[in-house]
Structures are given as C-alpha cells and as structure tokens.
C-alpha cells in the first residue's frame, strides 16, 4: 500500500519525536564503527573466504559442489579472481573462530579472513548491492514484506522484538507467523499502525539502542558447546567450574546456569520442576519431551523459569540451561537469552550494509530530515558527541599470549610463569591445556595439553652441559601474535652468563625477541635447550636515563634452572649431550615441531565482579 504525500508527512511528524532519537543514535554508532555505505565488509569484521577461483564459472561450480560451506556471496577481487565468502566474523576473534571451524570441517583448511578491501563488486547473489536501496518516503509506508530481508536482518528484528517483550520464538531468521504477530503487536502498541517498512527501520534502531545499552554480544562456551547472545554489561559470573557456569544479573533481575549432567539427572530435574509448577502455580507448565531435547517452563506472580536440556545423541550426557527472571526488565532480557540459546556457534547480531533494512534506515533518516527542514519548529533531541566509539562487549578479551615448547612425550609444555599467571583457562595451539607446576621466582611454569602430545610434535631435550659465553643460539616463538600469526625463528649468541644485577639464574642473548616470545625455547647449535626466553630490556627506558639506545639485550632463564625446576616437580624431561652441529634450516624444523602458542583466557574485572570469558574456539590473542 502506498500512502499519499500528506499521509507520509503526517506520519513522519508523529514518529520523529522518539524515532529520530533512535535513528540518530543508531546512525551515530554505525558511523563510529567505521562501516560506510559502499563498503562490503564492516571495518571491525572480516569476511571468511573459503576459496577463490580464476573464473566466475569455476566459482559457481565450487559453490554448487560444496554446499556444506554455506557460501553466501561471491566477489570479484582486484586481482581478477573470484572470492567465495561464507560470512563475516569479528576481527578480534577471527583467527580462533577459523581454527575451530577448520577443526570441525565446517570450512576448508586454507580458509582465511579478509578485510574485503580487495573486493571490487559482488557478482553473486545478484541482489547483493554495494549501496543501500534508494527509497523515497512513500515506499517507506509500503506494507512490510519480510521476504526482502536477509536472514541476518530478520534475526536482528527478532532480537529487537524479544527485548521489547513481544517475541518468544527462536532467533533463527525465519519470519513466520510468530515473528509477524510479534512485529504487529509492537507496531500497533508504539505507533497505532500495522507494520510498514518505516516501522522496520524504527524497530531496528530501537533494537540497536537496547543492545548497545546492555553491552550485548555473542557468547560461546567451548566446554558445553553452546552459544547465546549475552548482555555483558549487566551480568557477572557467580560460578565457573568448567562444568557449570552461572551468570547472575547485577540487579538480580535474571540469572542463567549452563551445565553438563547425565541424561537421567537432567530428566529428573525436569520432572521435579514440572511437579513443583503443578503444585504451586495455577497455570500448567509448558513442556516439550522428545528424543533430542526437553523443555519445562512455567511462570507465576513475578517469576519465570525456563529449563532446556539437549541430549547427547547416545553419549549419556545432556547440556542443560536454566533461565530464571523476575520483573518485566528481567523477563525481556530472558526472552532474548532463550531465543538466542543454541548448540554450537552462531552468528553475531548485525545489520549488513547494503541490505534492505539498512536502506530503510537511511531513507527514514533522510525523510525525517526533510520533515524538519519543512517545519523549523520541529525539535530533535541532540546527539551527544564522543571522541571514540563506545566500548563494546568483547568475548575474546581481555587475554594474553606467549610461547612454550614440549619437553616430554606426555604433552608437557614449558613456558614462563608470567605467561600463565591469572589465567582462567589455557590453550596450547588452540587445544585446551591445564596448568601444572609454577615458580614465580624463576618465572617458570609447565602446562599439560589435555589431548596429549600431537602426532606432529616432537619434544626438545635439555643440554647436559652448560652453555658457554658467545655460543650460537636460536630462539623460536610467536611474537606480536595477531600481527605476525606465525612461528618466528631468530639467531644470535650468548652475550653474558648472568642477567641484570648479576642474576645467576639468567643468561643474556643477542637473538632478537618481541612481546609474545616469552616462554619460547633457546637452543644451542645442537638443538638442545639452554634457556627459556623471559624478557627484553626496555630500550626506551634505558635511552631516557642513559641517553643511549640498547640493541638486542634480551634475557632467558638458564637451561639448568629450567631442568631443575622440572625435576623438582616430578616432570619427566629429556636430556642430550649430542655434539652434532645442525644446519640453521634443520634447527628451524626441530623448533617448529616443538614450539607452541600459549593463549591465556583471563577473568575480566567488572563492577567489582568477575565475568569469566571461556576460550570460545579455543581463542584469544594478546
């Protein structure tokens, strides 16, 4: 239905008071995020490229054959090839998300994440445009048609409706009767009108504001393998044992408990909840009982309870989630928590640039601007300026990373104590690991890979004889992880047999090291461990106090100290007195088979509480 110009003007005037505030807020945040119209990939995200082919025909053939990769777009690139893209990921967590997906076979092993700067234009699907659709004010008042929206756009609207208290279905991007009815309730309540494209724009802007206000972001628990959207600014972790994670609202309005239990125990919980509900509440509980999952839900007075258990397909264990809420605000948040809860990972909530929904937003903003120009008395709430984008919840941080190396066939990895200090969880080359022995004085630690020594790995042996002054040494590690993302091998010599202040537990080397090298191996020309990288001199500090810039002044824990530390803690090690000098290339291969990336998942202090960020895929780089 198309309305007259007078009708359009009247309706825009009616909605401009509250709608303009939401729209300006939304567009302000969107501009701060760095995503402009005409840019295919938002600057804070990257596109997952699963393959590239020299011709469009070959790209389409690849897409048709590899349907499991869920390719969503094909782009012509600057080098003339065609990139096949699955989806986009937050840049901060992309490396670890890719590692997890590759391990699960969800994408090819050689997939990578691209900024999209080399994308010239989309060639498939044909309606994937660079700029939002050009719409006039009249078309905004056409009856809302969800078929024009992508799954990501419909998921965003479903999330907004859930937070508004109107939607209690799944966050699946499937726009059926439940979604449409929820949208109609919202639109009639807010604007006394059935949904139009304008209302979709206002709903998107309203939802954006609510999501931003709660610090909502994507959460994934790698132990339970469940994900959901979570309001990070509103919750803290009351318990995180690895098996059970309990999150509580800071204001007590809702809480969530995720856990793993036997199928029998999970069913028993549902039976008890169902019996308690029947006894204490007038309305009968809502129950679902099938082979894959059970749901028990009930409400009364000011409380609402929702329990879901997903059974493990013959494993004997269930993944269980319990959501409880009190009051209207708690119930609305619980709506989105439950709507988004699912097994395994999910996409983040975004409004894709170049889509129909973004076009509605831009057209609405333009139309409202026209209304203000035609009516100087129309006032609009001011937009507060900011020097930077508001902090967004980041599931992948805070975190840090360092290096380490295998020292035995059991999968024990030696590193520095400061690399693993304060970590909630650890990952070695993306695989979960647990902390063993530590010594803060020597700055040494040993962690053990839970899956054991990988087949491709080979432990290093400690040198029996102490290293001599001016001996050649080679260092390996993962410096500046997130920028270099590859094993780095450097060479130098032993420049001193003591550290700062004549510390006999240290040795000084000239081999270049950077942040992230900490915990990496120092080996002699025979490939034997003679030290563990621990620190580098602060060149700028020395230059400030001495007027000279030191070069390649780096330190390691002596190999003999590291060996004693391991033996004192009952950790098996290998020793060697080999006298065969290895070629530099052979040393690099030896180190590549033993050196690992260690990733630390820290607890993040917030409002005097702790919110634990588990390694999502195993993830996080520091």
Range with the poorest average pLDDT among 352-366, 384-398, 442-456, 597-611: 384-398
Q: Let me know if 54 is exposed, middle or buried by CB neighbors in 10 A (0-12, 13-18, 19+).
A: exposed
Mean pLDDT of 349-378: 67
Q: Would you place residue 600 in the very low, low, confident or very high pLDDT band (cuts 50, 70, 90)?
A: confident
User: Has residue 455 got a pLDDT over 50?
Assistant: yes
Q: DSSP of 74-106, one letter per residue?
A: EEEETTS-EEEEEEEEEGGGHHHHHHHHHHHTS
pLDDT at 349: 85
pLDDT of 185-222, one tens digit each?
A: 999 998 888 898 889 988 998 888 888 888 888 887 77
Euclidean distance between CA atoms 287 and 595, whole angstroms: 52
Pick from 471, 479, 539: which is nearest to 507 by CA?
471
Euclidean distance between CA atoms 347 and 155, whole angstroms: 10
pLDDT at 83: 92
Residue 607 DSSP label = T
Decide if 332 is inside a domain. Answer: yes
Q: Which residues pair with 554 in a beta bridge?
A: 509, 536
pLDDT at 373: 47
- Same domain for 336 and 439, yes or no, is no
User: Has residue 380 got a pLDDT over 70?
Assistant: no
Euclidean distance between CA atoms 354 and 149, whole angstroms: 11
User: Has residue 318 got a pLDDT over 70?
Assistant: yes
pLDDT at 351: 82
Mean pLDDT of 429-449: 91
pTM score of the predicted model: 0.51
pLDDT of 500-511, one tens digit each?
A: 778 888 999 998
pLDDT at 287: 92
Instruction: Look at the chain and report how many structural domains it folds into.
Output: 4
Q: Quick check: 449 and 484 in contact, CB under 8 A?
A: no
- Same domain for 551 and 489, yes or no, is yes
Euclidean distance between CA atoms 26 and 202, whole angstroms: 10
pLDDT of 7-54, one tens digit each?
A: 445 555 544 444 444 554 444 444 434 444 446 787 778 889 999 998
Range with the poorest average pLDDT among 315-329, 369-383, 386-400: 386-400
User: Has residue 97 got a pLDDT over 60?
Assistant: yes
Decide if 622 is inside a domain. Answer: no
- Same domain for 49 and 106, yes or no, is yes
Regarding predicted confidence, which is higher, 613 or 131?
131
Range of the domain at 307: 226-343
Euclidean distance between CA atoms 601 and 404, whole angstroms: 16
Decide if 382 is inside a domain. Answer: no
pLDDT of 98-154, one tens digit each?
A: 888 888 788 999 999 998 888 888 888 755 544 445 555 567 778 898 888 888 889
Q: Would you place residue 389 in the very low, low, confident or very high pLDDT band (cuts 50, 70, 90)?
A: very low
Regarding predicted confidence, which is higher, 174 or 602?
174
Q: Quick check: 433 and 413 in contact, CB under 8 A?
A: yes
The pair of structure tokens assigned to 607 is 């409002």
pLDDT at 314: 65
Mean pLDDT of 174-184: 92
Decide if 556 is inside a domain. Answer: yes
**Average pLDDT over all residues of the chain:** 79
CATH code, domain carrying 244: 3.40.1000
- Same domain for 336 and 474, yes or no, is no
Decide if 385 is inside a domain. Answer: no
Q: Would you place residue 388 in the very low, low, confident or very high pLDDT band (cuts 50, 70, 90)?
A: very low
Q: Would you place residue 390 in the very low, low, confident or very high pLDDT band (cuts 50, 70, 90)?
A: very low
Pure H helices in 434-558: 539-546
Of 124, 147, 177, which marks where a domain is finished? 124
Mean pLDDT of 576-602: 90
pLDDT at 582: 94
Decide if 112 is inside a domain. Answer: yes
Distance of CA 349 to the CA centre of its chain: 12
Regarding predicted confidence, which is higher, 241 or 522?
522
- Same domain for 253 and 334, yes or no, is yes
Signed CA dihedral, 188, 192, 195, 199: sign only: negative
Decide if 361 is inside a domain. Answer: yes
- Same domain for 421 and 512, yes or no, is yes
pLDDT at 251: 85
Residue 325 DSSP label = E
User: Has residue 603 got a pLDDT over 70?
Assistant: no
- Same domain for 139 and 120, yes or no, is no
Signed CA dihedral, 577, 581, 587, 593: sign only: negative
Highest mean pLDDT among 396-405, 480-489, 531-540: 480-489
Q: Quick check: 614 and 245 in contact, CB under 8 A?
A: yes
Of 82, 102, 124, which marks where a domain is finished? 124
Euclidean distance between CA atoms 529 and 471, whole angstroms: 13
Mean pLDDT of 311-317: 75
- Same domain for 409 and 508, yes or no, is yes
pLDDT of 463-498, one tens digit each?
A: 999 899 999 999 999 987 766 668 999 999 999 998
Q: Quick check: 132 and 65 in contact, CB under 8 A?
A: no
CATH code, domain carrying 451: 2.40.10.120
- Same domain for 172 and 291, yes or no, is no
User: Has residue 608 got a pLDDT over 50?
Assistant: no
pLDDT at 34: 40
- Same domain for 173 and 315, yes or no, is no
Q: Quick check: 599 and 618 in contact, CB under 8 A?
A: yes
User: Has residue 527 got a pLDDT over 90?
Assistant: yes
Of 90, 124, 158, which marks where a domain is finished? 124
E strand spans, 205-345: 216-221, 226-231, 235-240, 244-249, 254-262, 286-289, 293-300, 303-311, 317-326, 342-343
- Same domain for 428 and 566, yes or no, is yes
- Give how far Cα 283 sits from Cα of 272, 274, 297, Å: 16, 11, 11
User: Has residue 544 got a pLDDT over 70?
Assistant: no
Decide if 298 is inside a domain. Answer: yes
Pick from 266, 316, 272: which is nearest to 294 by CA?
266
- Same domain for 573 and 602, yes or no, is yes
What order do you get walking across the sheet with 303-311 strand by strand? Answer: 235-240, 244-249, 254-262, 317-326, 303-311, 293-300, 286-289
Regarding predicted confidence, which is higher, 229 or 388?
229
pLDDT of 42-88, one tens digit each?
A: 777 888 999 999 888 889 889 888 888 888 889 888 888 899 998 88
């Amino acid at each position: 239905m198309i309305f007259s110009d007078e009708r359009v003007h009247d309706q825009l005037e009616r909605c401009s008071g509250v709608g303009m505030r939401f729209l300006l807020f939304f567009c302000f945040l969107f501009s701060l995020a760095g995503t402009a119209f005409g840019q295919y990939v938002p600057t804070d995200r990257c596109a997952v490229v699963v393959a590239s082919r020299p011709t469009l025909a070959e790209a389409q053939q690849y897409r048709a054959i590899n349907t499991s990769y869920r390719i969503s777009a094909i782009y012509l690139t600057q080098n003339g090839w065609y990139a096949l893209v699955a989806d986009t990921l937050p840049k901060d967590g992309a490396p670890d998300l890719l590692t997890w997906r590759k391990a699960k076979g969800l994408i090819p092993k050689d997939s990578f994440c691209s900024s999209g700067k080399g994308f010239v234009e989309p060639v498939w699907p044909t309606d994937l445009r660079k700029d939002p659709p050009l719409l006039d004010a009249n078309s905004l008042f056409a009856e809302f048609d969800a078929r024009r929206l992508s799954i990501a756009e419909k998921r965003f609207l479903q999330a907004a409706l859930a937070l508004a208290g109107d939607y209690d279905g799944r966050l699946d991007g499937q726009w059926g009767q439940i979604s449409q009815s929820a949208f109609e309730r919202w639109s009639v309540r807010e604007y006394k009108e059935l949904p139009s494209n304008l209302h979709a724009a206002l709903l998107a802007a309203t939802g954006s504001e609510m999501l931003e206000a709660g610090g909502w972001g994507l959460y994934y628990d790698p132990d339970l393998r469940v994900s959901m959207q979570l309001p990070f600014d509103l919750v803290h972790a009351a318990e995180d044992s690895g098996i059970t994670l309990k999150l509580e609202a800071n204001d007590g309005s809702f809480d969530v408990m995720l856990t793993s239990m036997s199928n029998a125990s999970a069913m028993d919980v549902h039976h008890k909840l169902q019996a308690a509900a029947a006894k204490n509440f007038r309305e009968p509980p809502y129950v679902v009982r099938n082979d894959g999952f059970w749901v028990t839900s009930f409400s009364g007075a000011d409380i609402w309870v929702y329990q879901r258990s997903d059974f493990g397909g013959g494993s004997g264990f269930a993944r269980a989630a319990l959501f409880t809420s009190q009051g209207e605000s708690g119930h609305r948040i619980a709506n989105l928590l439950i709507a988004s809860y699912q097994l395994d990972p999910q996409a983040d909530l975004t409004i894709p640039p170049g889509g129909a929904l973004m076009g509605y937003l831009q057209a609405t903003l333009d139309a409202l601007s026209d209304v203000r120009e035609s009516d100087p008395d129309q006032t609009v709430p001011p937009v507060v300026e900011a020097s930077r984008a508001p902090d967004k919840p980041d599931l992948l941080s805070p975190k840090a990373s360092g290096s380490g190396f295998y020292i035995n066939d059991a999968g024990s990895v030696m590193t520095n104590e400061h690399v693993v200090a304060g970590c909630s969880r650890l990952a070695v080359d993306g695989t979960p690991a647990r902390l063993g022995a530590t010594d803060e004085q020597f700055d040494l630690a040993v962690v053990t890979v839970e899956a054991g020594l990988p087949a491709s790995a080979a432990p290093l042996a400690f040198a029996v004889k102490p290293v001599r002054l001016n001996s050649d040494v080679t260092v390996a590690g993962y410096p500046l992880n997130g920028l270099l993302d590859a094993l780095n091998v450097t060479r130098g010599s032993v420049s001193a047999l003591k550290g700062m202040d004549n510390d006999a537990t240290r040795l000084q080397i000239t081999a270049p090291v950077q942040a992230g090298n900490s915990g990496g191996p120092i080996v002699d020309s025979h490939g034997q461990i003679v030290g563990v990288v621990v620190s580098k001199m602060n060149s700028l500090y020395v230059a400030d106090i001495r007027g000279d810039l030191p070069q390649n002044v780096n330190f390691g824990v002596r190999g003999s100290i590291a060996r004693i530390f391991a033996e004192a803690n009952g950790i098996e090690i290998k020793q060697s007195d080999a006298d065969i000098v290895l070629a530099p290339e052979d040393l690099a291969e030896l180190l590549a088979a033993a050196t690992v990336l260690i990733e630390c998942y820290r607890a993040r202090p917030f409002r005097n509480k702790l919110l634990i960020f588990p390694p999502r895929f195993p993830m996080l780089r520091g």
